Structure 1
Amino acid sequence: MSNNSRETVFERHYEKLGQQISEYARTESIDSDNFFAKLKALKGQQAKIAEIFEKQKQEEEKFSEERRHELFGNDLVYQKAKELGNNQLLEKFHTRSLTEDEYQEAAEQFGVDLGIDYYYGLESRYDYVSAFSEGFARVTKDGKWFVINEKGQKCFGPYDYIDAFSEGFASVKKDGKYFFINTKGEICFGPYDEVYTFSEGFAKVKKNEEWFFINTKGEECFKGYDYVSDFSEGFAKVKKDGKWFFINTKG
């Protein structure tokens, strides 16, 4: 259901209860034993509808703002428009109706040097553009994944999938297997059946039905577990023989 449709439904319920309250107050005797109790119940229902509607609006606005930040947070033109309260330009960003000429005109007006932050222009060239991580963003075109730098230049790819860079490495998928590449695009480690991003110097990987960790040198660490989780604050949860344990970065 669209936001407008949902709003219409809530308004109808709210107005209908308002009419019931008015009708009840007009036709019922105030001396009735249940007059105030029923009136209070009807007003309570109306207040509840208003509360639910307001809560949903807040959640939708929060999601929308988070999504907008993900899409445009790195764009200096967008940031400047937001800072100046240029709602007309912001609306064009949000609805993807801003043309490249309008974008360049706004950049010139705001004194923004289009170079490493030409984010909106990237969106028009690719099917998907991720946020930047460690100087790189992931993009897709016609089902293939690539890595671009902050100048918008295509660096690595194509791959079947690319994860975000973390601690100098990104996992990539090619021909059904996973590998890790460094910031030069060189394949460093792999192949693996499953991989996760590096966290606190280790990445969990799966190979031949066995889960274990590799470090940033590609060395296999802490083997022999049925499952392992990512390291967080110096510890990782591991499973062996149906039991769960915590290990530190020394295993």
Structure 2
Amino acid sequence: MMKLNGDVGESFGQWNMGCDSELIPLLDMANIACGFHASDPDHMSQTVKLCKAHDVTIGAHPGYPDLQGFGRRSLAMANESITHAILYQVGALQAVTKHHQTGVEYIKPHGALYNDMMASASVFDAVLQAAHTLELPLMILATSEANTYRSLADEQGVALIMEAFADRRYLSSGQLAPRQIENAVLHQPEEILSQADAFLSQRPITTIEGESLLLAPDTLCVHGDNQASIKVASQLKQRIAQTEAKAKS
């Protein structure tokens, strides 16, 4: 069954990011920031409480230690340090979820760490090491090379969750279009819904270069800091339900 996931809990101190109170009730899975790229203990706790109240599965969203850059800048870190940084962040969120009598069910790296994981075998292995230690599934970008990633994950005993982005444009390589490229982020509701419909019906999407790309995701992601995504989240939820109902009929 297709799931709707979102990146949430990214407020920090007195600065508010996203509209979690609107988005989280519509999600199946919530990727909660763990303090390195965004969030703090109080916001982590508030976000966990909101997820629990709406029966939303909680995932950890660890990133590079880069509050100033919101985790969207690649950092030159040793692979062992990447593993340790993920363990540190997920461990913090696990403690908060335990306080609220719930738990962390998977890991999804954030921003530049996510992109680096998909571009570098050594970074992917560093992330796998953390997921293996924590005995948690790992969410990664759905790709035409999915079998290669699954094989590597199987060696570590890590289950993979393949995701696609309803509100991001893709390169023909299957990677996400870098945010600095014009139109890399979709801000029109009809564009987001159109791309989501393609994923749901297993049709190719059109890449930013104008080529066709076919992916097979397990879950669709929307971003809590994209107002257009929040506006269409309820419609995405309905379309996922309709697709599932047709598949069963």
**TM-score, normalising length from structure 2?**
0.23
- Give the structure with the higher percent strand: 1
**TM-score, normalising length from structure 1?**
0.23
Greater RCO (Cα-Cα under 8 Å, separation 6 or more): 2
Larger Rg: 1
